[in-house]
Structure 1
Amino acid sequence: MAETKQALLMGIVLCIAIAMAQGIPFTEKDLATEATTWKLYEKWRGVHTVTADLAEKKTKYEVFKKNAKYVLDFNSNKGKPYKLGLNRFADMTLEEFKKKYTGAVKPAVDAVKKAKIVKSKVAAGNVPSSYDWRDYGAVTHVKDQGPCGSCWDFAGTAAVESINAIVTGNLLTLSEQQVLDCSGAGNCEEGGTTPGVFEYAMDTGITLACNYPPYEAMDDQCRLDTSTMNPLVNIDGYAAVAGNNEKALKQQVYLQPVTVYIEASHDFMLYTEGVFTGDDCGTLLDHAVVVVGYGVTQEGVRYWIVKNSWSDNWGENGYIRMIRDVDVKEGICGIAMYPFYPIKNSPCAAIDIAATKRVAAKDEL
C-alpha cells in the first residue's frame, strides 16, 4: 500500500513538472467563452505560484487570455518547427517579463577590446557536425535566476563551471549569489555583463554554491569569507569569438561552452519545444545565455543547444534549440554578435585561500 501511494505521488509530481515545462494543455473549447477561459486560468494558477491580490488577478487574467489565444493560433500553424505553451510566464506582458527575467547589458567598449579575439585552436574541417558538452560532464544543472535581472551572472558563472570541469575533470556548482553580491559586474535592477563575471573570477574567484548563502534573487551585501569559503575557482582570462560569425562560434563551442547575448522575444518567453526560428526577435540584446553545443535534426535543420536560467521547467528541460547558420550575419536573435568565453590554463581546480595563508604563516616563522 505504501509503495502504491509513493508511486502515485511520484506520478502526480511528474505530471505537474511536465505541465510547468510544457504549459497547461488546452484546446479551442477552453477559450470559447469567458467562463471556460477563466476556468483554464484557474487551472493554470493551480500549477504556478502567482499573486493572490484580486485586482491584480483580474489584470493578469486579461494578459493570460491574450497569451493563450496567441499560443493556440501559433501552434495551429503546422509549418512552425517549434511550439509555444502556457508556461510560468503566461500571465506576463513582454515588457513585464523582460524587466524581471532578462538583464543583460551590452558590454562596454573597453570590455570588448580587452576580450581579444583568439583564433580557434581547431580547424573548421575538424569540427564534428554535432557536439553536446552535457554528454561529457561539463555542464551543471539548469538553475533559476528568478525575478531578478541576473542572467549575465548565471551565464558567466555557468561558463566558468564548464571550463573548470573541462580542464580539471571536476564539475563544481558555483555561487551566483556571491557574484551578484560581490563582483560589481551588475545587479538585479540594472543588469550586468558576462565579461564582468569573468573579471571577477580572474581577480577573486567564485566559491562553491554550498559554501555561500543560497541564491535569493535579490542583491545583498557581500558575505564572502575567504578564510572559510574555500575553495575559490579562478580563471586565467577571457576572450571573444569573432562577432557575427557562426562558423567561428561553432569552432569555439566545440572546445567549450560560450556565453552569448540574445534578444528575448515573446515567442522565446513562451517557448516549450522544437527548433526556435525566432520570427519575432531581432538584435535588441537583453538576455545572456550559454551555448553548450550544437546539432542537426533528422530533417537536416542545424541548431544551437542553449542553456537558459529560468529553471528546468522552461523549454526543453531548461534548454532551447535555436536555429543556426541563418542568412543574417548576427545569427538568430543576435546570438553571434557578442560571444565571450573564459580561459583556464592551470589544471588546479581552485585556489584554497586558507591553505595559502597557512603556508605563508609557516614561511614567516
Structure 2
Amino acid sequence: MALWLEWQIKVYVLMVSLCVEAWTSAATPPNSTLAVFEQWTARHGRIYVNNLEKTKRYEIFLKNLHFIEDFNKAANRSYTVGLNQFSDLTTEEFHARYNGLQPMSRSSNSSAATTFEYQNVTQVPDSINWVDKGVVGSIKNQGSCGSCWAFAAVATVESGLAINGGPMLDLSEQQLVDCSKDNGGCKGGWVEAAFQYIKRDGITSEQNYLYKGVEGDCNSEATLAHKVTIQGHHNIPVDEHLIEMAVAAQPVTANIDTKSVEFRSYSGGVFTGPCGRQNLDHSIVIVGYGRSNSDGLNYWLIKNSWGEQWAEKGYMRIQRNSGIREGVCGINLAASHPIM
C-alpha cells in the first residue's frame, strides 16, 4: 500500500511540473527541473512535512528558477541572480521570516547625538574595505528570527571596538533579542534602540550568550559578564556624501527595502534595483565602498545576516551615487553608527 501511495504522489508531482512548464518560458528542459529541485533540497537540507507541502514548494521553486533564467539571459545587467536558500519561498513568506526592522521616528529619538561626528572631514579615500582591513566580524545567519536590527548593531560595535585599538570580539545578538525590551525580539526591532541598550547595560560575548534564533527570557547572569559598552550613537543625515565620510571612518548601519525577488535572489555584481525606497524592512551594515572594474558603477559594500550562502559569500554590492536622494533601496535614509 505504501509503495502504491508513493507512486501516486510521484505521478502527481510530475503532472504539476508539466503543467507549470506549459505556461512558463524557461530555458531549463522540463525533464530536468525536478532533478534540479531534488539537488537543491539536498544541498539546503530541506525536509518537508509531507508530499503535498513538497509539491507546493516545487511549484514556487519552479517560478523562482524560471525568473532567474529569464533575468540572467537579458542583456546589459550589472548583476546576476541565482538559486539560494530562499528559492522555495514566496515574496510574502520571505518578508515575514527574514527581515525584522521596525523603523523608529528619529525625531522622537532624543538620545542620539545631534551633531554629525565627521562633518568637518574634508577628504575621503576613493574606496575603502573594512573587511580587508580585518575589522569586520564573520558573516552570521539570523535564521527565521526577525533580528536583523540586532545583527546590524552588534556588527558595528564589533568593528568600532577593533578600529579603536580593541580586540576583534564576537558579541551576542541573542542578548539583544532577549534583553532589549524596547525592541520586539524575533518580531522585529530598531538599531537605535539596540544602541541605547548597549550604552546602558553593555553587551557580552557570543560565547557567553549563544545565539538561538528564538526569543527567550533574559539571562541576567550571562549579561553580568559584559564586555563592551558604547557612549551613544550618531544618526547620519540623509546625505550620501556624509554617509561616505562616516564609512571612511568606520562601518555604519543602514536600513533598506529587500522585498523584491531580485534582491533576495541576488548572486553577484552591483545591485541597481528594482526595490522600494520608503517602506524599509531590513537592517544591514555598510562596510565599505568602491567602484566596479567591470562596468564602472560606484557601490556600497554591505554585510548582511543571511549566512554565507546568500549573494557574494554573505555580502552585496549595491549602487552608490545613483542620483536618487534616498539611495537605491532607501539605503541613505536611516544610517547610523555607534560612538565608541
Same fold (TM > 0.5):
yes
Contact 1:82 1:273 in 2 (8 A): yes
SS in 1 for 2:278: coil
The equivalent position to 1:258 in structure 2, one of 252, 255, 262, is: 252
1:209 alignment counterpart? 206
* Stretches of structure 2 lacking an aligned partner (at least 5 in a row): 1-24
- Residues 311-356 of structure 1: CA distance to partner in whole angstroms, max 9, x if unpaired? 1111111100000011210001000001111101xxxxxxxxxxxx
Asked whether 1:60 is paired with 2:60, we answer: no
Contact 1:211 1:229 in 2 (8 A): no
The AA in structure 1 aligned to 2:282 is: H
Asked whether 1:218 is paired with 2:200, we answer: no
Asked whether 1:249 is paired with 2:243, we answer: yes
1:38 alignment counterpart? 34
Of 228-237 and 288-297, the range deviating more from structure 2: 228-237
Contact 2:275 2:328 in 1 (8 A): no
Give distance in 1, aligned partners of 2:48 and 2:118.
55
Contact 1:123 1:251 in 2 (8 A): no
Q: Quick one: structure 1 residues 261 and 42, their matched pair in 2 at CA, closer, same or farther if it must change by over 3 Å?
A: same
Q: Quick one: structure 1 residues 135 and 292, their matched pair in 2 at CA, closer, same or farther if it must change by over 3 Å?
A: same
Give distance in 2, aligned partners of 1:201 and 1:188.
15
TM-score (norm 1): 0.82
Give distance in 2, aligned partners of 1:199 and 1:295.
31
Asked whether 1:183 is paired with 2:187, we answer: no
Give distance in 2, aligned partners of 1:48 and 1:125.
48
The AA in structure 2 aligned to 1:269 is: R
1:306 alignment counterpart? 302
- Residues 235-281 of structure 1: CA distance to partner in whole angstroms, max 9, x if unpaired? 001111102x1111000111111100000021111111110001243
SS in 2 for 1:207: coil
Give how far 1:110 is off. 5.0
The AA in structure 1 aligned to 2:44 is: H
The correspondence of residues 314-325 of structure 1 with structure 2, limited to 5 A, is 314-325=310-321
Give distance in 1, aligned partners of 2:161 and 2:108.
22
Contact 2:291 2:297 in 1 (8 A): yes
Give how far 1:113 is off. 4.5
Give how far 1:294 is off. 0.3
- Residues 123-147 of structure 1: CA distance to partner in whole angstroms, max 9, x if unpaired? 5641011001112222100100000
Give distance in 2, aligned partners of 1:111 and 1:206.
24
Equivalences, count: 313
2:90 alignment counterpart? 93
Contact 2:33 2:62 in 1 (8 A): yes
- Residues 47-91 of structure 1: CA distance to partner in whole angstroms, max 9, x if unpaired? 012232212111111110000000000011131111110100000
Asked whether 1:273 is paired with 2:273, we answer: no
SS in 2 for 1:341: strand
The correspondence of residues 137-156 of structure 1 with structure 2, limited to 5 A, is 137-156=134-153
The equivalent position to 1:104 in structure 2, one of 98, 101, 105, is: 101
Contact 2:257 2:275 in 1 (8 A): no
The equivalent position to 1:77 in structure 2, one of 67, 74, 79, is: 74
Contact 2:101 2:282 in 1 (8 A): yes
Give distance in 1, aligned partners of 2:116 and 2:105.
22
Could you tell me the percent identity over the aligned residues?
38
The equivalent position to 1:197 in structure 2, one of 186, 190, 194, is: 194
1:236 alignment counterpart? 231
Give distance in 2, aligned partners of 1:111 and 1:172.
32
Q: Quick one: structure 1 residues 114 and 335, their matched pair in 2 at CA, closer, same or farther if it must change by over 3 Å?
A: same
Asked whether 1:167 is paired with 2:164, we answer: yes
SS in 2 for 1:289: strand
2:16 alignment counterpart? none
The AA in structure 2 aligned to 1:155 is: A
The equivalent position to 1:132 in structure 2, one of 104, 129, 132, is: 129
Give how far 1:211 is off. 1.1
Give distance in 2, aligned partners of 1:136 and 1:111.
36
SS in 2 for 1:186: coil
SS in 1 for 2:80: strand
Contact 2:112 2:233 in 1 (8 A): yes
Q: Quick one: structure 1 residues 330 and 221, their matched pair in 2 at CA, closer, same or farther if it must change by over 3 Å?
A: same
2:9 alignment counterpart? none
- Residues 180-199 of structure 1: CA distance to partner in whole angstroms, max 9, x if unpaired? 11111423553100011101
SS in 2 for 1:135: coil
TM-score (norm 2): 0.87
1:47 alignment counterpart? 43
